[in-house]
Structures are given as structure tokens and as C-alpha cells.
Amino acid sequence: MNQRIAEPEISITGEQNSVEDYLKTLWDRVRTAGEMIRELRGEKERLGSRVSELERDLSSLRSEILERDQELKRLRAERAHLLSANGNTGFTEEERESLRAKIHEIISKINSHL
């Protein structure tokens, strides 16, 4: 009978150790998970800051592109105006020669009347 009493006590002690080991393992896993969560939150915050920075840069670059596009349009209009002011009205060389001849003819007629 003494043997039966000793065996259940040993088995209870074995179960206690098993539960303690299980709880220790569980606690280690919970602690590790907590550390990982903390690290991930920090990384999320850093990434959020980086995204905000990149969005600001993108906005700045977009407005710079718009400004340059407007400047380019202004310069093109100014160029077209200068080209038309310099006599480049789109006449062909034959049309210019014909116009010169008519102008010389008119000047000759005016001179002859004077």
C-alpha cells in the first residue's frame, strides 16, 4: 500500500512540473510576442513618417512641374510672337519675291508721278 501512495504523489509532482514548464514556455512566447509587437509598432511609425515625407516631396515636385509647364507655354508663346514680328509670317520664297516686285513697281510709279 505504501507504494500506491508514493506513486500518485510522484505523478502529481510530475504534472506540476509539466504545468510549470508549460506556463514558463507560454510566458516566454508572450514576452517574445510583446517585443515583436513593440518593434513592429516602431517600424510602422518610422514608415509612416517616411510616407509623409515622400508625399510632401511628391507634392512639391508636382507643383514645380506645373510651374515649369506654365513657363514653357509662356516661352513658346513669346517665341511665336517674336518669329511673327521678325517677318517670318509663313510666306514662301516665291511669295516674298512677288511681293518685293510689286513694292518696287509701286515705288517706281510713285517716283514717276513726282
Query: For the chain, what is the domain count?
Result: 1
Chain segment 55-86, per-residue pLDDT in tens: 999 999 999 999 999 999 999 988 888 777 76
H helices, E strands: number in the chain: 2, 0
The answer to whether the CB of 104 falls within 8 A of the CB of 112 is no
Range of the domain at 88: 2-113
DSSP for 18-62? HHHHHHHHHHHHHHHHHHHHHHHHHHHHHHHHHHHHHHHHHHHHH
Rounded to whole angstroms, the Cα distance separating 58 from 64 reads 10
Which grid coordinates belong to 5? 501512495
The pTM of this model reads 0.48
